[in-house]
Amino acid sequence: VKIETVKPNRLKINLDLGSERLTSRQVQGDLNVKWLHGAPGKNLKAEFDVTVLKSNTSFVKYDDFVFEEPSSNFNSETQTFFEGFTNADGNASMSASLSEGNYPGFMTAVFRGKVFEESGNFSIDRFALPFYPFESYAGIRVPKGEEYSGMLYTDTPQKIDLVFLDIDGKPVDRNEVSVNLYRLERYWWWDNTYDNIANYVEGNGSSLIANESINTVGGKASWSFNIANADWGTYYIKVCDPISGHCTGKIIYVDQPGYFGRNSRDETKTAATRLTFAADKTKYNVGEKINLSIPGSGEGRALVSIENGSKILSTRWIETKKGENKLSIDATAEMTPNIFVNVTLLQPHAQTINDLPIRLYGIIPIGIENPKTHLEPVIEMANEIEPGQEVKIKISEKSKRKMTFTLAMVDEGLLDITRYKTPEPWNKFYAREALGVKTWDLFDDVMGAFGSRIERLLAVGGDAELRAKEDDPRANRFKAVVKYFGPITIDGGSHELKFTMPQYIGSVKVMVVAGYEGAYGNTEKAVPVRKPLMVLATLPRVLGPDEKVKLPITLFTQDKKLKNVKVEVKVAGAVSLAGESTRSIVIPPSGDLTIDFDLNVKSETGIGKVTVIATSGNIKSTDEIEIEVRNPNTPVTQVSEMYVEAGKSWNSAIIPVGVAGSNSSTLEVSSIPPINLGYRLRYLIEYPHGCIEQTTSAVFPQLYLDVVKELTDSEKSRTKNNITRGIERLKLFIARDGGFGYWPGYQDSDQWGTTYAGHFLLSAIDKGYYVPDDMMKRWKKYQKNRAAEWRSNINAGYYNTDLIQAYRLYTLALAGVPELGAMNRLRELKETTMQAKWMLAAAYAKAGQPEAAQALVANLTMQIKPYQEMSDSYGNDLRDKAIILETLVQLNEKAKAFELVREISKSLSNQNYWMSTQTVAYCLKSIGQFVASEKRGGLAFTYTYNGKSINASSQLPLAQVPLEIKGVQKNSISLTNSSNAGLFIRVINTGTPSRGNEEAQQSNLVVNTSFTDSKGNQLDVTKLEQGTEFYATVTVKNPGLRGSYENMALSQVFPSGWEINNLRLTDDEGTEKTDRGDYQDIRDDRVYTYFSLGGGRQR
């Protein structure tokens, strides 16, 4: 499922090229642009480009022919198709020639366009048409060859079939067709001097063996050749259409019968002996007669079998006479959506009257349609909707039939981005089915099964194979109109829906999909949403602090009497007006006008709200925009801390960090060594990247928050929501084998990530969260299979594989399905690492064998040498200490565990100590488990802030108190310890600094950024014209001083006035030859790219 940050179109773009297919390089078209509410898009800048992509060249009934030359690739290029302006009616004419190219056959022309409003905002369009660059196409069919290798035999005549077809698949005659046979050097396939076989043939790597000129009859011809034993090797057959210039070819390998040949039948025995017969139509309605015409001979019999996608529906024998034999069959409802008529014709074994084999067979598909399976839902509603008014929609079935329907009303500006069509359930449920019945016999093994001649007869039977076609606190920036109703059942009558139309100007599409007891239908209606006076305001997707912004406002009138309009702008939140708030204007005769207001963004982050009100007499129109003001800089945290003995007091200044709106302050009081919970947890939750390890790390520690600190109601709600969303997101990572991929959509599982995510899910279940049973069932199966298959790879260049296995075994024990055999095998290995032994001990403890666990770690140290692992288990020494802590908790070794808590806490509380997300999560989780098992007494203290003294207490070891701050104003706080023991006190200030003179830094990595136009020319991005499309290219080089870098993240935050051209929306990523890394996440104003980089390499 693709999920993207999109903004709806506001313009309706229609580029009509006059045909559903292109048959010439010269293309003419008419462009019409309207605002969604219906007004013409006059004098608007429009840009269209076209990319020609390779398609599959094939024809129905000629599936076994090749219509393309073998080639490694086709180099597609994007060219400008149109650049200009619409006229006063929103129209423009265009004419252009598609670039000349070495087209191999059928192509696809992908058109991508943008139309810019006067404000600078733009709407997009994308569509594709088949492009047939040749008027006719050459096809070649070579003998099937050996069963497994496809090899043809030397010293054997080989017959090549040729066919020439127009773009509709009809045969066309060609004279003096040149057939060329080349012998290729054996190393042609790995020689990268040439990018395709055609170039290789034209070079020095081949020799012309045979050339012959032939003529076709009915568009068809054949040609034979014979290769001597001594000339075995690789050959290439090339045939070109002398009129259109299209060429096709086939690589073949010719040799003496060998290993494959001795174990396979001769081709003449395995080739199909087919029967050609026909029906009078290709599609029938239920109740009609299917009339078949079957050729036969005297004294023969035919077995007629009616089959569908799963079974044989009926069979019958008929006695055949010489000539055509007629047979009528009733089309029934059970035959829908299609059947296959399979005919086997048998002749007496002893006959010698004709030279046909004693058995021929053929099969044809026939479509069967039942009119009763069609429903015809009807939409009754006004042809125009006014925002803010009640909408009534009545749904019924044309023939008063019973049906269950759902209705969706969606902003056409969203649907037009991908040209979304109303779903057609009938076409899905009654799509043609593939033949599901296999038929075989032994007639090929009957001695003397042929007549006077041994040659087989080849006839076309059947049709083309089935082919698939088709395919929070943040601002609510684009409030797309989406209404959904249903399912609703009506029985012969109608159902009326009523609702109030949101404040929206544009066009909506009402889509109805219906079904009932095997009958399906759909309908749709596009309805403009408008009023006599309309206003549309435009702003970027996001803004930044201290920016100055133009607010374009476009006004429309449908009534020419409306001329004098008052425009008022109201702002709230993080934006302010830089000048006047109202303006009186006169609408010109054209009926639309764009004006600008000036806005300033405050020196703070948050949500800005802009409301535009247009009034003319008693007619009023409103447009409202919510926009996020974000700081592109990275948040920073400052911490002041103190140890306060029992009965003592402490005071400190509170100095907010960062711009107003981004900053916060928290008082943290703890009876255990400080773990920097607020800062570390915020780091996990706000971490922008989302692989399997980071997604799990963000939510895992939150399972233990309630045993570490007192949670407020809002914190409880937020924590529960975060964990639930984390479980839902993990569903996106499920791979085909039941494990979890490193990124959403990956088909191969990541071993450590799978175990880590499963560990979290098991802990979530233990805390009462819902996790789908099937999700865990598949995970357990994957883990058990991996555990059973695992063998030590310590000496094979892998790192921590025994720890990966031990962790897998630990989670299986947590799941209640311990793999004791695999645990025992791992315990017996002499090379097992210390970390793996600690983890394995935890597995034994959870499996109910604490004695084995104690024995395993009896003489193990808790000291880990510093290291940092960038792949495999993504570990380091601190993560491993957290693993040991978890094991000690399992073994109830509290004294040793507390020693590790102190050591881990020291690292957690050090702001300058960088930790990976997994390290942070595992440390917080392990300390949470320790705290849950160890009650160390309550907290009691009094703090004074903002002139108020508050007594606080908690039975948990940690308390956090949010401190209210106002902008960047300083404040002070004091605290008195009323507990019986000392307390660790921390004040955590967090915020995002304002933009300044940031300095570039790099260490063991080289990063360069360049900006170019579509032709590769360098651009100065400080002087860009509105509507300029350009490329940002980031080159990252690894000098190799520290080896390979795994799982790197490149974060690119772009200025608020730049719009990212997201080609993923229209599946056009392949049209740009760029490196997108291993995974890419595209947001409103930024792109995160994830990749690995070997030493001495660059991407």
CATH number of the domain encompassing residue 800: 1.50.10.20
**223 shares a domain with 176:** yes
Q: What's the structural domain count of the chain?
A: 7
Per the listing, tokens 């009965």 go with 647
Any idea what the CATH number is for the domain that residue 306 is in?
2.60.40.1930
- Asked if 279 and 290 touch (Cβ cutoff 8 Å), the reply is yes
Range in 31-45, 544-558, 897-911 with the lowest mean pLDDT: 897-911
Question: Counting beta carbons within 10 angstroms of the beta carbon of residue 334, is it exposed (0 to 12), middle (13 to 18) or buried (19 or more)?
Answer: middle
pLDDT band at 102 (very low <50, low <70, confident <90, very high): confident
Q: Which residue would you say has higher pLDDT here, 729 or 257?
A: 729
pLDDT band at 263 (very low <50, low <70, confident <90, very high): very low
Residue-wise pLDDT for 525-568, tens only, equals 999 988 888 888 888 888 888 889 999 998 888 887 888 999 99
**335 shares a domain with 307:** yes
pLDDT band at 893 (very low <50, low <70, confident <90, very high): confident
**550 shares a domain with 601:** yes
Kindly tell me if the per-residue pLDDT of 205 is higher than 80. no
Give the SS3 label for residue 808: helix
Task: Give the mean model confidence (pLDDT) for residues 12-19.
Answer: 91
- The rounded distance, in Å, linking the Cα atoms of 300 and 320 is 5
Any idea what the CATH number is for the domain that residue 397 is in?
2.20.130.20
Kindly tell me if the per-residue pLDDT of 159 is higher than 90. yes
Full 3-state SS string of 148-202: CCCCEECCCCEEEEEEEEECCCCECCCCCEEEEEEEECCCCCCCCCCCEHHHHHH
pLDDT band at 268 (very low <50, low <70, confident <90, very high): very low
Kindly tell me if the per-residue pLDDT of 161 is higher than 90. yes
- How high is the pLDDT of residue 345? 83
Structure tokens of 522? 């759909």
No. of helices (H) and no. of strands (E), the chain: 18, 52
**427 shares a domain with 441:** no
> Which distant-in-sequence residues (6+ apart) come within 8 Å of 293 by Cβ?
277, 278, 279, 280, 324, 325, 326
Q: Is residue 317 part of a domain?
A: yes
- How high is the pLDDT of residue 192? 41
Give the SS3 label for residue 570: strand
Q: Which residue would you say has higher pLDDT here, 369 or 830?
A: 369
Kindly tell me if the per-residue pLDDT of 985 is higher than 60. yes
Q: How far is CA 532 from CA 381, 568, 614, 952, in A?
A: 20, 18, 11, 61
**28 shares a domain with 15:** yes
Range in 188-202, 306-320, 799-813, 1017-1031 with the lowest mean pLDDT: 188-202
- How high is the pLDDT of residue 346? 81
pLDDT band at 1053 (very low <50, low <70, confident <90, very high): confident
Q: Is residue 1030 part of a domain?
A: yes
Kindly tell me if the per-residue pLDDT of 763 is higher than 70. yes
Task: Give the mean model confidence (pLDDT) for residues 440-463.
Answer: 39
Any idea what the CATH number is for the domain that residue 596 is in?
2.60.40.10
Pairing of strands 575-577, 247-255: unpaired
pLDDT band at 195 (very low <50, low <70, confident <90, very high): very low
Q: Is residue 697 part of a domain?
A: yes
- How high is the pLDDT of residue 682? 72
**306 shares a domain with 396:** no
- How high is the pLDDT of residue 866? 80
Q: How far is CA 905 from CA 46, 439, 670, 968, 990, in A?
A: 60, 72, 12, 30, 20
- Asked if 1073 and 80 touch (Cβ cutoff 8 Å), the reply is no
pLDDT band at 600 (very low <50, low <70, confident <90, very high): very high
**439 shares a domain with 428:** no
Q: Is residue 468 part of a domain?
A: no
Structure tokens of 317? 């024998």
- How high is the pLDDT of residue 203? 54
Structure tokens of 907? 């690292």
The rounded percent of the chain whose pLDDT value lies above 70 is: 87
- How high is the pLDDT of residue 193? 42
Q: How far is CA 781 from CA 67, 730, 803, 815, 848, in A?
A: 46, 17, 20, 12, 22
**141 shares a domain with 88:** no
Residue-wise pLDDT for 840-886, tens only, equals 999 999 899 989 999 988 888 888 888 777 667 777 888 888 889 88
- Asked if 918 and 803 touch (Cβ cutoff 8 Å), the reply is no
Any idea what the CATH number is for the domain that residue 121 is in?
2.60.40.1940
**422 shares a domain with 346:** no
Q: Is residue 949 part of a domain?
A: no
Q: How far is CA 585 from CA 39, 406, 553, 617, 1082, in A?
A: 20, 45, 12, 13, 40
Kindly tell me if the per-residue pLDDT of 758 is higher than 80. yes
Last residue of a domain, one of 901, 935, 969: 935
Residue-wise pLDDT for 288-327, tens only, equals 999 988 887 777 888 899 988 888 899 989 888 887 888 8
Give the SS3 label for residue 930: helix
Average pLDDT of the chain to the nearest whole number: 82
Last residue of a domain, one of 573, 595, 628: 628
Helix (H) or strand (E) holding 206: strand 206-214
**759 shares a domain with 856:** yes
**838 shares a domain with 710:** yes
Structure tokens of 966? 């106002």
- How high is the pLDDT of residue 911? 64
Kindly tell me if the per-residue pLDDT of 477 is higher than 70. no
pLDDT band at 273 (very low <50, low <70, confident <90, very high): low
Q: Is residue 940 part of a domain?
A: no
Last residue of a domain, one of 208, 239, 264: 264
Kindly tell me if the per-residue pLDDT of 262 is higher than 50. no
Containing structural domain, residue 154: 136-264
Residue-wise pLDDT for 807-845, tens only, equals 999 999 999 999 999 999 998 888 888 888 998 999 999
Q: Is residue 666 part of a domain?
A: no
Task: Give the mean model confidence (pLDDT) for residues 60-86.
Answer: 83
Q: Which of 703, 786, 726 is nearest to 752 (CA)?
A: 786
- How high is the pLDDT of residue 694? 85
- The rounded distance, in Å, linking the Cα atoms of 895 and 28 is 83
Highest mean predicted confidence (pLDDT) among 19-33, 332-346, 919-933: 19-33
- How high is the pLDDT of residue 1066? 63
Q: Which of 132, 128, 97, 95 is nearest to 113 (CA)?
A: 128
**366 shares a domain with 377:** no
Helix (H) or strand (E) holding 881: helix 877-890
Q: Is residue 337 part of a domain?
A: yes
